[in-house]
Structure 1
Amino acid sequence: MNGVGELDEAAALPAYAGLSVAQVTVVASSAAAAAARAVLEAADALGFDTESRPTFTRGQVSSGPHLVQLATDSHCFLYQVDHLHALDALGDLEALLASPQLVKAGFGLGDDLRRLTSKCGIACAGTVDLAQRLRTGRNAVGVKSAVADLLGQQLQKSKKVATTNWASRVLSERQILYAANDAHAALRVYRAWMARGAPER
């Protein structure tokens, strides 16, 4: 989408029908990671995203990702990376991300994948970067425009929430919903894209 008319058209769309807080699990223990893996491995595809605490000083290097989101059609699991790392409990998350058989669909995954490798030593496989797969010409596609184009809905993304502290031990309800629905929206867009006959890989 581009131009004022298209922006107005997007604003008139119904709100994205995403997940509720009750449909989100924050994973911060070994037991929770094992339980989440059992659910996620049974899916044919997942929505995938990460969040990192923002940097505000020029030249400062991000210590993220601090949160990894993996969503099914009806639930999202938010992995608190720093807390799981301290417990030596990243094995279940690594198994999911490294599986080439399990599709992980997201937007703009380049930085996410690099940071997961440098911070956690996780080499992701089976990823589908929808920003590139849906691009037209030189322009990569963002999740908001993809949700509007393929789902006919408006995904609201608060910049205020996006720049909060994702490394916090306790996440706010707004953080939980923001993170979960970013991943959930990616999965829904992926399914709509596949339904149009797009190649899976």
Structure 2
Amino acid sequence: MHPTPDKDTIAMLPPFGRLGLDRISLVATRAEAEAAYAALTAASAWGFDTESKPTFRVGEMSDGPHILQLSTPERAWVFQLHHRDCRAVAAELLQLKGVAKAGFGLRDDRKRIIEKLGVEPAGILELNSVFRERGYRKDMGVKGAVAVLFQQRFIKSKKAATSNWANLRLTEAQLVYAANDAYAAIRVFDALGLAPGMSGVSG
């Protein structure tokens, strides 16, 4: 069994090169959604993640996800799901068969997508499961995976993570945070030598 790198080990590594705003597209209109669809369907695998507005009260239910992130190794798209046309295109993309949608900790994302968009995502690949199959004892997560595969430190902003993803206007920090979760996932997918038709891909 391989050990998962600890926080102190990861902290010593050089930073992972993240996508800048010039390679991140916000999707909030029909035209933007159609352009994103055309670009994404040219790829056979995407990094995949969602964000939901945090809940702070006991018993409070989230109506998320509010954001869907899909990424190729070159570019990421951040869909705002309050817009009906964006939701429709997002649902269509998530149902596409033959396209792997790779990410970390996707069980909750999948459940919320079914509730919010009314579709069962196809081709979901939980990257933590791939690492377990390869001899790592516990969930790797994006930080551990980037450390193991690239010997680099993936930086996540706690402030952005707990921000209001339901806002109609997302900040630059939110866009960078959201896009790079999906971008790191597709980079990990590629580095692991995975293919859309491999075992472990659901749907």
TM-score calculated relative to the size of structure 1: 0.90
Q: Give the C-alpha shift of residue 116 in structure 1.
A: 0.6
Supply the distance in 2 between the matched residues of 1:24 and 1:89 (Cα, whole angstroms): 16
Q: Give the C-alpha shift of residue 137 in structure 1.
A: 6.2
Determine if the alignment matches structure 1 residue 192 to structure 2 residue 191: yes
Q: Give the C-alpha shift of residue 138 in structure 1.
A: 5.8
Determine if the alignment matches structure 1 residue 162 to structure 2 residue 161: yes
Deviations 1:103-125 (CA, angstroms, capped at 9, x unpaired): 11001111101101111102100
- SS of 2:192's equivalent in the other structure is helix
Q: Quick one: which amino acid aligns to residue 30 of structure 1?
A: R
* Structure 2: tracts of 5 or more residues without a match: none
TM-score calculated relative to the size of structure 2: 0.90
Q: Quick one: which amino acid aligns to residue 192 of structure 1?
A: A
Supply the distance in 2 between the matched residues of 1:152 and 1:48 (Cα, whole angstroms): 22
Of 31-40 and 7-16, deviating more is: 7-16
What is the alpha-carbon root mean square deviation over aligned residues?
Answer: 2.0
Supply the distance in 2 between the matched residues of 1:111 and 1:8 (Cα, whole angstroms): 28
- How many equivalent pairs are there? 195
- SS of 1:19's equivalent in the other structure is coil
After superposition, the Cα gap between the structure-2 partners of 1:108 and 1:19, relative to the gap in structure 1 and judged at 3 Å, is same
After superposition, the Cα gap between the structure-2 partners of 1:151 and 1:200, relative to the gap in structure 1 and judged at 3 Å, is farther
**2:80–2:86 contact (8 Å) kept in structure 1:** no
Q: Structure 1: which 4+ aligned runs deviate by more than 3 Å?
A: none
Supply the distance in 1 between the matched residues of 2:15 and 2:73 (Cα, whole angstroms): 17
**2:4–2:137 contact (8 Å) kept in structure 1:** no
**1:96–1:102 contact (8 Å) kept in structure 2:** no
Q: Give the C-alpha shift of residue 37 in structure 1.
A: 0.2
Q: Give the C-alpha shift of residue 2 in structure 1.
A: 5.3
* Structure 1: tracts of 5 or more residues without a match: none
**2:102–2:125 contact (8 Å) kept in structure 1:** yes
Match of 1:71 in 2: 71
The alignment-based identity, stated in percent, is 43
Structural mapping, 1:71-90, within 5 Å: 71-82=71-82, 84-85=83-84, 88-90=85-87
Structural mapping, 1:49-64, within 5 Å: 49-64=49-64
Determine if the alignment matches structure 1 residue 126 to structure 2 residue 126: no
Supply the distance in 2 between the matched residues of 1:89 and 1:157 (Cα, whole angstroms): 26
Match of 2:21 in 1: 21
Q: Give the C-alpha shift of residue 90 in structure 1.
A: 2.5
Deviations 1:29-61 (CA, angstroms, capped at 9, x unpaired): 111101100000001211000000000001111
Highest RCO, 1 vs 2 (Cα 8 Å, sep ≥ 6): 2
Q: Give the C-alpha shift of residue 97 in structure 1.
A: 0.5
Match of 1:36 in 2: 36
